[in-house]
Chains A and B, each alone.
Chain A
Amino acid sequence: MERKNYIRLLREKCLKLCLFIFLSLFSSSLIAQITVNVQNKPIKEVLKVIESKSEYRFFFNEGLIGLDKTVTLQVNNAGIDETMKLLLHNSEIAYKTEGNNLVMLMAKLKDNQSVLKNISGVVLDENGESIIGASVLIKGTNTGTITNVNGQFSLDVSEKSILAISYVGYQPQEVPVAGKNSFQITLIEDIELLSEVVVTALGIKREEKALGYAVQAVDGDALQTVKGVDMATSLTGKVAGLLVKNNTEFAQSPDIQIRGENPLIVIDGVPYGNMTLKDIPSDDIENLSVLKGATASALYGYRGASGAIMVTSKKGNKYKGVEVSVNSGSMFTAGFLAIPELQSTFGRVVNTANNTYSTGGDGSWGVPMDGREVNQWDPVTKSWLLMPYLPRGKDNFKNFLEQGYVLNNNVNIVQQGEFGSFRASATWVNNKGQYPNSEYNKYTYSIGGDMKLNKFLLSSNISYNKQTSPNIGFSGYTSYDPMYSLLVWSAADYDVRDYRDYWLVPNESQNNSYTDSSNNPYFDRFQRTHSINKDIMNGSLSVSYDFTPWLKLSLRSGFDTYSDRQDIRVSKGSLISAGSATLIPNGTQVWGESANGSYNTGISRGYSFNNDLILSGSQTFEKFSIDALFGGTLFYKQDEGIEAKTQDGLTIPGYYSLNASVSPADVSSTIYRRQVNSLYGRLALSWNNLIYAEATLRNDWSSTLSKSTRSYLYPSVSGSFVASELLPKTDWLSLWKIRGSWTTSKTPAGIYAINSVYTITNSAWGSLSTASYPGSIRTSVVRPESSETFEVGTALNLFKNRASLDFSYYSKRMYDALKWGGISSASGFTSNYINTMEEITRKGVEITTNVTPVKTKDWQWDLSVNWSKYARYYTKLDSLYSDNKPWVKVGERYDAYVLYDYLRDPQGNIIHNAGKPLYADYSSRFGFSDPDWIWGLSTSVRYKNLLFSVSMDGRVGGLTQTTTEMYMWRAGSHPKSVTDERFKDATTGGNNYIGKGVKVVSGSATYDTYGNITSDTRVFAPNDIATTYETYINALHKGTAWGGAASPADVYSTTFLKIREMSLTYTLPKSICEKIYTKGVALSAVGQNLFLWSKQFKYSDPDGGYENFSDPSIRYVGFNVKVSF
C-alpha cells in the first residue's frame, strides 16, 4: 500500500475510534454511590459538594428557608436516601427524588398549618383530554407535584391551601381546597401565549405578530428523524418561497433559494463567511427561522439582501441536570426514481472490411446484435477474438452501480446548571455513493455553552468539521461523467463486469475495447480521481451586559476558517482528461492531460470574521413600548488558494506529485479580500398589542468600491396591525393581523470588479509570457446595486390555533444593477462595467396554511401546505445596454428561455432541407426558465405513541435542457431510437428515414435583423427526402454540453412531484423508558426521496433544476434510533 493512503486510512481510523470512545463513555451507567465528608458547612454548600462528587442534581428555590443552616455530614458509599436523611434530619427541608438523578428540595409542611389531608384530582383540557405534566402547587409554597400520564395527581394539603395549576400554553388557574377531596380541573388554552416567538435579524427574538414581514420557523425536530447527507434536503417543501434544488450528484450540496435568490446563513446570530448548511449537523439544530425578504434581514446589509436562514443551535436544556442523547440514522439505497436506460438492439459500428467493431466511442449506431460473428475484444484473455455479437451489456449501468448508504450518527451531552449550560456533540456522516470508489465522510465536533453571572450573559461555541472523500468523482458531460463512456458513447455489446481487472499493462494502458476514446469504467473510477480533504472551524463568543434592566450592551464576535486540499490524478493511459473540474475557489478549470497522465493539486484556505457591538434598550410606558438599538459591524473575509499542475506528463507512471512533472510544474495563486464596516440603528414601537412599527437605518463602507461611492445608507420600515384586537372576542378567530414593509438594500461590487488589470499568462509560447489588457471597460465609478422591496401580508389564526393561514405578496424592484453591459466587440471591448438603467421587478405570492383536523387524546392529524410563485419582469430598459430583442420589453418576463427553433411553415410544420430539419438563423423565446410555482405539503398522523409523517413537494413549469437524453439520442442509445428505419439502415444500408414535415420546392424568404420575414415566396411540399435515421436524429437533437442553445426537442419542463420523506416513529412509553434507565426512546422507519413523478423527465431527476448527466436518483430507506439518558 502506498504510504500516503496508509496515513489517510490511519487518520480516518483515529477519528472513528474517538467517536466510539465518546459514545461508550456517556452511555455507561451514571448512577453512583455517594462519599462525602464535610464539617460545619451550610446545607447549600454541602449540596454543591454532593453534586460535584456524584451525578445527582438538586433543584430548589433559592429562597428556601434553612439552606444556610450549618451541618456536618459523613457518608461513605451511601445511597441517596441515606445521604439526604442525614443531611436534612434537623432542618425544615423535605426532599423528593425524580427520575434517576434529580432531587427536588422543598419546605416541610409546618405543624401549625393545621391537619394535612390527601386529595387527588385530574387536569383536563377543553376537549376533556388529560394534560400530562401539568404543575400542581400549593400556593405560596414550593410544595407540589405534576400530573401523571393520565393527567392525575395526588397531594397532601391543608384545608386552607389554594392549588395553583399551570401548564405551558394554558392559562394558569387557582382552586381553593375548601373541603373537597377530589378535583377535576379544566385548563383553558392560552391563545396569546401560543403566539410564536421567532428569531429575527441580529438574533432579536420577537413575537411573530409584531413583525411587518414574512418569517417562517422550522423546528429542529423536523430535521432529525430522516437524516440524509445534507440537512437542506429535509427543508425542501417545508417553507413557502424556499426553493431547494436537490441535485442527484454525489456529495453535492442542494442549491437553496429564497424568492429566487441565495440567502445568507446565520448561525447563532453570526453571519459567517464560509459556513453552509452542509457544515451543520441536523442534530445540533434547535430551530431554523427563515427570513424571507430583504426587510427581514435589512440589518445584515448586502449579505442579507436575499433573505436569511437563521440557525439556532442547541445549547442548554429545560431542566437542570445532565442529558445524553444518541441519534443514529441509517439509510440504504433501494432502487431508483429515475435512471437512464440503454437500448440493447444495436451495437457499435462494425467495420465491414475487417469485421471488427469500432474502438472509437461512437455510441451504438452499428449493426443489430443478432449473434453474428464479429471480431471483438475479449477482456478476459485480453485479446481480439471472433465472438457472437450479443447484447451482453444490457444492464451495464445498473450492474456497475453499487449499494450505497448514508449513516448519520450523533451523540451529544448537555448539562444544564444553575448559572449556565454546556453542550458537546459529535456527528459522523458516512456516505457511500453508487459508483465504485465513491465515499464521503463528514465529521463534526461542536461544543458550546452559556453562562449567566449577575448582569453578564456569556455564550460561546466552537465547532470543527472535516469532510473527506478519496474520490468525489466527475460530474457533467464536460467533466466526463462516468455516464459519458459507460452509457452514452458505448454500446451494450460488452459486459462491464468483465472489465473489473482494468489494467492491460499496469500504470500504462487499460484493458479496454474503446482504445480511441473512452475509459474502462472501472479504470475511470480508480485511476482518474478527484479527492477532497476539507477542514472547517467556526466559533463565536457573545457577551452582553445589562447596565440597567432596560439597557444592554452586547458584543458578538464570530470567526470561521477553512482549509481544503483537493487533488486530481489522471493515470497514464487514460483516454479522457479531468475535464472542467476546479480545485480551488475561483480556480481555473483543470482539464489535465489524458494520455501521459497528470496530477493537479489545489490548496485553499480562508477565514472570515464578523464582529458586532450593539447597544440596545427598551422601555414601556403603560400601553406604549419602545425598543431601540444602535450598533456597528466589522466584517472581513479572505480566501486564498494555490493551484499547481504537472505539465507534459508524469516522469514515472503512478507517481502523483508535482515532482513528477516532465516539464516544470505550472503554478498559480489567488487571493480575494473584502471588508465591510457598518453602523446601524433600529427603532421599534408598539401600542397596546395592536400596532407595531419598526424602522432601521444602516450605513456601509465597502472595500470593493471606490472612495467616492464606498459609503452608502439605506433604510427600512415595517409595521403590523393586529386587527383581531379590535374585533369582538369569538371562539373561531384568535388572531388576525395585517402587515406591511418597505426596504431598500444595497449590494456593493464584487472583489476587484472595479480594478482594470492585465491578465498575465506565463509561458504562453515557449518561455514567453503574455499580458492582455482587460476585455471589459472599467472606467466609470460605479455605485452599489440597489433594490427596493415592498411587501404586504396577512396572517390568520382560527379555531384556537387549529387552523392558520398566512399570505404574502411582495414586489422587489432591482435597479442600478452592476452589469457587464454588453457592447459591440468592434469597440475593442466586449463589455462595460456599469450601473445599468435596466430595471427588473420580481413579484411573488406565498401562501402557507396549517390545519389540525383531528386532535384527541389518542389521535392527532396535522396538515401543512405551502404554495408560492414568483416571476421577474422588465420594468424599465436601458437604451444602450438592454438586449435589443423582441422579448426584451417592459412588462415581459426576464427569464426567457431562448433558443434557435426549427424553421416552420405557416402551418407550423418543420421545414426540411436535404431531408433534415432546418434551424432558424435568429433566436426566439421558447418559454421561461423559472418555475411557474412551487409547493410543499407535509402531514403527520399520531396515534398514541405512533407517529406517521410524510412530506412531498414539487415544482410546476420552468424549462431546462436535458443533456442526458439529448446525448442518449445522439449516441443511438435511447430506448426509443429502436425503429424499423434504423434497422433497415443498419442491415440493408441506404437512407430510409423520412422526417415528418415539409420541404421548400421553390422560392425563398428574406429576414430583417430581428428574424421577422420581410418577403416570402416559398412553396412547400411534404418532405420526401430520406436520410439515415442517425443523420436525422443528430440533426433533430443538435445541442451540445459545450455551450450554445439546445434543440427545441431537448428542452423539457421541470414539472415534478416528489415524496421527499416518510417516517413512522414509535416513541416508547415513559414507564418502559424508566425501566431501561432512559429518558426517551424513539424508533423510526424512514425513507427519503421515495417517489418521483415528472412530466417530461423520464431518465433523470429534474430536482436539481438543470440536467447535465445527473446521476441516477436513488431511493433511500432505513431506520433511525433516538435515545436520551
Chain B
Amino acid sequence: MKKLNRIILIGTSFLVLLLNGCNQFEDINTNPDATTTVSASLLCTNVVLRTSRFGSEAKSYISDNALPKYVGYANEGQMDAQYNKIGSSSFGGMTILPNIEQMVEAAKGGVLEDSYRGVAKFARAYMFFRLTMEMGDIPYSESGLGEEGVFRPKYDSQEEIFIGILNELKEADQYFAKGRTFTGDPTPYNGNPDKWRRATNSLALKILMTLSKKEGVASLNVKNRFAEIVQAGYLLEANTGFFGLNYSTQNKHPLSGTSNLFTSRTIISSLLMDNLKKLNDRRLFYYADPAASKISAGKSQSDTAAYVGVDVGMDYAEMNAGHSASKYSLLNKRYLTEAACEPRMLLTYGEQQLILAEARLRGWITSGNAEDYYKDGVKASLAVVMATKSSYAHGKAIDQNYINNYFTGEAAFKTTMDEQLKQIWMQRYILSFMQDAQYSYFEYRRNKYPEFPINPATSLNENNVNAIPMRWLYPTSETNYNRENLIVALDRQYEGYDEINKIMWLLK
C-alpha cells in the first residue's frame, strides 16, 4: 500500500509538472525577433520602395533594356527579350496591397493620416497601372481581399481599371494637399507632401497620355482630366526633382559591383546610337563606350565615328562574331564601376514637359506652346545627365553651353505635327535609357515610334515573326488558383487564348 501511495505521488507530481508546462506555451511560440505591431512609417518605406525600386537582378535589368531595343546581349545565350520573346508576368506586385492597408490602418487618427493615405493611393494606382499595361484585364475591384476570404478575385475590364486608377490619383492629390511632412519616405522628396502631390499629378498626366488612343471614350474623359490637372497647376517643377531613388555605396545601382560578365556583353543598339548621332546628342558619350576596334584603329574616344551600335535584330552568331572582334560599342563602364552612376528616376520634370508638348499638339491643353514644352523637357533631361560624373563622358562632357545650343539641325523643333510628335517620342525614348526601359516599350506599342528593327529570320516571336509582341501572358499560377475568372477574362479579350500578340483594349 505504501508503495502504491508512492507511485501515485510521483505520478501526480509528474502530471502537475506536465500540465503546468502548458501555461508557458504562448511565450514559447512567440518569436522575440519578430513583431506584430509596427509604425506607418516603417510600412511606408516598404510601400514606397516596392513602388520605386528595381526589384530584380542585373541580368533582368539588361533584359528590360533589350525589349525596347536599347541594347543587345552577346556571348551568353540569346536574350529572349532582344529577339522579341515575352513570357508570363506575375501578380506578385499585388501583395503590396495588404501593406498599404496596414500602413493606412496604423496612421489612422494621427496627424500624418492624410499624407499616408496619399502615398497609399499613389502606390495602388502605380502598381495596377503597370500590371494592366503588361497584361490587359486584371483583378482590381476584388483584389487584396484575401483576409476577407476572397481568394479568387474576378478580373475587371481595362477600362474600369483605368477609371479607378485615375480616380485614386485624384484622391491622392487631395490627400497630399491636406498632408503634412511624413516620415519613412526613401525618395529624395523626404516626405514633402507638396512634392508628392506634384509627382502624383505628373503620374496622372503620364497615364492619361498612354490612353491617347482612347481619348474619345466618354467614361474616361481623358482630355478633360488632363486639362483639369494642368489647370490646377500642381505639376513637377524644374526644382522639384525627380520621383525615384538615389543610389549610394550602400544602395547600389543594379549593375554596379556585379561581375563584368554582364556589362561587358551589353552592346548599344544602332537604333539608339544612330539617333543620338543624328541629334548630335552628347548623351551618347555617357551611355556608351567606343568600340575597341575603332580605338585600336586610331579613332579618338571623343569622335562619334568610334561608336558603333549593333542591329539588335541581327543573327545572333553574327553579333557574337562582331562582339568578339570588338566591333561594337559596349555599355558605358560607369554602370559597372560607380555605385551611384545615376539615380533611378521614374517621373522627371523633363519627361513631364515632353508629355505636355504632346498634349499641346493634340489639343488637350491650350496653355503654353509645344515648342517651349519640348525644349524645356529636353534641356531638363540633358541637365540630368550633365549631373553625372563627367569623367566617363570620353572628353565630351555636357555643359550648360552645349545644352543651350542643342536645338540645331535634327534637334530643332520641326514644322509638321507628325514630325514634332516623333521628335517628342524620340526624346522620351532617349531619356528612358537604363531608367524605366519598360515604359519605352509601352510607348512603342502606342506610337510605333521609334521604329524597332524587326528581323523575321531571327525573331523568336514564333506566332508573328514580323511584329513586336504586344503583351505578357497571364501568371501561370492563375491557371492553378483562379482559372474560372482567368477564362472569363481571356474570352472577353483574346478569344480565349492567352498569347503575346493579342491586342489589349487600350491599344485598340
A interface residues with partner B (beta carbon < 8 Å): 349-354, 358, 360-362, 365, 516-517, 547-548, 553, 575-576, 593-595, 613, 615, 630, 632, 634, 647-648, 663, 668-671, 673-675, 677-679, 701-704, 707, 710, 751-752, 754-761, 763-766, 768-773, 775, 777, 779, 822-830, 832, 880, 883-885, 913-914, 916, 918, 921, 923, 970, 985, 989-991, 1000, 1004, 1006-1010, 1014, 1025, 1027-1028, 1030-1031, 1034-1035
Contacts and interface: CB of A to CB of B under 8 A. Distances in A.
B257 A1031 contact: no
Contacts of A352: 321, 324-325
Contacts of A989: 317, 321
Contacts of B144: 826-828
Contacts of A673: 28-29
A634 B482 contact: no
B292 A827 contact: no
Given A765-B186, A773-B98, A825-B91, A613 B14 contact: yes
A880 B151 contact: yes
Given A353-B325, A768-B184, A914-B459, 6 more contacts: A516-B260, A675-B21, A675-B24, A828-B101, A828-B145, A1028-B320
B150 A827 contact: yes
Nearest to B326: A353
Contacts of B88: 921
B259 A827 contact: no
Interface of B: 3, 7, 10-11, 14-15, 17-19, 21-22, 24-25, 28-36, 38-39, 42-43, 45-46, 49, 53, 75-78, 83, 88, 90-95, 97-99, 101-102, 138-139, 142-147, 150-153, 184, 186, 245, 248-251, 257, 259-261, 264-265, 292-293, 296, 315-317, 320-321, 324-327, 457-460, 462-463, 465, 473, 475-483, 486-487, 490, 495-499
A516 B261 contact: yes
Q: Looking at B42, B483, B487, which has the most chain A CB atoms within 10 Å of its CB?
A: B42
Q: Looking at A576, A669, A770, A827, which has the most chain B CB atoms within 10 Å of its CB?
A: A827
11 contacts: A663-B250, A669-B33, A755-B30, A758-B38, A765-B245, A772-B43, A822-B477, A825-B91, A828-B101, A914-B465, A921-B88
B147 A828 contact: yes
B361 to A, nearest CB: 38
Contact of B22 (A701, A827, A880, A991): A701
Contacts of B326: 351, 353-354
A575 B479 CA distance: 41
B282 to A, nearest CB: 26
Contact of A1010 (B19, B42, B316, B479): B479
A773 B43 contact: yes
A674 B31 CA distance: 11
A985 B321 CA distance: 10
A75 B11 CA distance: 55
Contact of A754 (B24, B29, B487): B29
A618 to B, nearest CB: 16
Nearest to A912: B462
Given A349-B75, A828-B95, A1009-B479, A516 B264 contact: yes
B38 A826 contact: no
A830 B482 CA distance: 12
Contact of A923 (B92, B93, B260, B476): B476
B257 A593 contact: yes
Contacts of A772: 43, 46, 99
A572 to B, nearest CB: 13
Given A352-B325, A827-B144, A766 B257 contact: no
A670 B147 contact: no
Q: Looking at A516, A674, A763, A825, which has the most chain B CB atoms within 10 Å of its CB?
A: A825
A615 B11 contact: yes
Contact of B33 (A670, A675, A970): A670
Contacts of B462: 913-914, 918, 1000
A884 B261 contact: no
A775 B3 CA distance: 58
Contact of A883 (B18, B21, B480): B480
B35 A828 contact: no
In the complex, the 6 A-B pairs of residues with the closest C-beta atoms, listed nearest first: A827-B146, A757-B34, A771-B42, A826-B139, A828-B144, A770-B46
Nearest to B47: A770
Given A353-B292, A517-B261, A553-B10, A825 B486 contact: no
A826 B94 contact: yes
Contact of A360 (B147, B260, B479): B260
A632 B14 contact: yes
B317 A1028 contact: yes
Contacts of A768: 45, 184, 186
Contacts of A1009: 479, 483, 486-487, 490, 498
A675 B28 contact: yes
A553 B53 CA distance: 65
A608 to B, nearest CB: 13
B49 A770 contact: yes
B293 A353 contact: yes
Contact of A710 (B25, B35, B92): B25
Given A765-B45, A1027-B317, A830 B92 contact: yes
Given A755-B31, A825-B95, A634 B21 contact: yes
Nearest to B251: A765
Given A770-B49, A775-B95, A826-B139, A756 B36 contact: yes
Contacts of B24: 675, 703
A701 B26 CA distance: 12
A363 to B, nearest CB: 9
Contacts of B153: 824, 826-827
Q: Looking at B7, B245, B293, B316, which has the most chain A CB atoms within 10 Å of its CB?
A: B316
